[in-house]
Amino acid sequence: MAKAYSPGLQIRQRVLHASRRLLPIPGDVLVKVGDRVTADQIVAQTFMPGDVTPINIANQISVAPAEVPHCMLIAEGEEVHVGDILARSNGIFGFFKSETRAKTAGTIESISHVTGQVILRGAPMPIQVCAYQAGTVKEVIPDQGVVIESEVTFLQGILGIGGEAFGTISFACENKQQPFTDDLLDESMQGKIVIGGARMTGKAVSRGIEIGVAAMISGGIDDEDLKEILGYDLGVAVTGSEHIGTTLIITEGFGDIAMADRTFNLLKEREGAKAAVNGTTQIRAGVLRPEIVIPLEHKTSPDNKTRQVNSAGILETGVPVRIIRDPYFGLLGEVGEMPTELRTLESGSLSRVLEVILDSGEIVIVPRANVELIEG
Task: List contacts with other proteins (CB under 8 A).
Answer: 7, 24-25, 49, 51-54, 65, 109-110, 112, 114-115, 117, 119, 121, 158-159, 222-224, 226, 233-237, 253-255, 281, 283-286, 324-327, 329, 343-351, 353, 365-367, 369-370, 372
Minimum Å distance from CB 48 to other proteins?
A: 9
Which region, left, alpha or beta, applies to residue 134 given φ > 0 means left and ψ of -120 to 50 means alpha? beta
Contact 125, 25 (CB under 8 A): no
What residues form DSSP beta bridges with 335? Answer: 356
Cβ-based neighbours of 129, under 8 Å, separated by 6 or more: 21, 22, 23, 42, 43, 44, 45, 145
The span from the CA of 185 to the CA of 126, in Å, is: 36
* Strand ranges inside 24-134, DSSP E: 28-29, 36-37, 42-48, 52-56, 79-80, 85-88, 99-101, 106-111, 117-121, 125-130
CB closer to other proteins, 185 vs 372? 372
- Kindly state the smallest distance separating residue 1's Cβ from other proteins, in Å: 14
Residue 154 or residue 171: which is nearer to other proteins going by CB?
154
Q: How many angstroms separate the CA atoms of 255 and 252, rounded?
A: 9
Helix H, strand E, coil C: the string for 160-188 is EECCEEEEEEEECCCCCCCCECHHHCCHH
Reference 238, options 292, 279, 291, 201; nearest CA is 279
- Nearer to other proteins by Cβ, of 293 and 353: the residue is 353
Q: Which is nearer to other proteins, 120 or 185 (CB)?
A: 120
In this structure, are residues 187 and 211 in contact, taking their beta carbons and an 8 Å threshold? Answer: yes
Shortest spacing between CB 168 and other proteins, in angstroms: 28
Q: Assess contact for 258 and 177: CB atoms under 8 A.
A: yes
| Min dist. Cβ of residue 281 to other proteins (A) | 8
Phi-psi region of 299 (alpha: psi -120 to 50; beta: other; left: phi over 0): beta
Which is it for strands 274-278 and 353-358: parallel, antiparallel or unpaired? Answer: unpaired
Provide the minimum distance between the beta carbon of 100 and other proteins in the complex, in angstroms, as a whole number: 16
Closer Cβ to other proteins, 144 or 153, answer by number: 144
We find the least distance from the C-beta atom of residue 134 to other proteins, in angstroms, to be: 25
Q: Is the CB of 292 or the CB of 324 nearer to other proteins?
A: 324
What does DSSP assign to residue 51? P
Write down the least CB distance from residue 283 to other proteins, Å.
6
Residue closer to other proteins, measured from CB, 53 or 136: 53
Name which of 68 and 294 has its Cβ closer to other proteins: 68
Rounded to the nearest whole angstrom, what is the least distance from the CB of residue 368 to other proteins in the complex? 9
- For the chain, the farthest-separated pair of C-alpha atoms sits apart, in whole angstroms, at 99
Contact assessment for residue 337 and residue 352, using Cβ atoms and an 8 Å cutoff: no
Contacts of 306 (CB under 8 A, 6+ apart): 14, 15, 16, 151, 300
Nearest distance, CB of residue 312 and other proteins, angstroms: 9
Nearer to other proteins, 97 or 284 (CB): 284
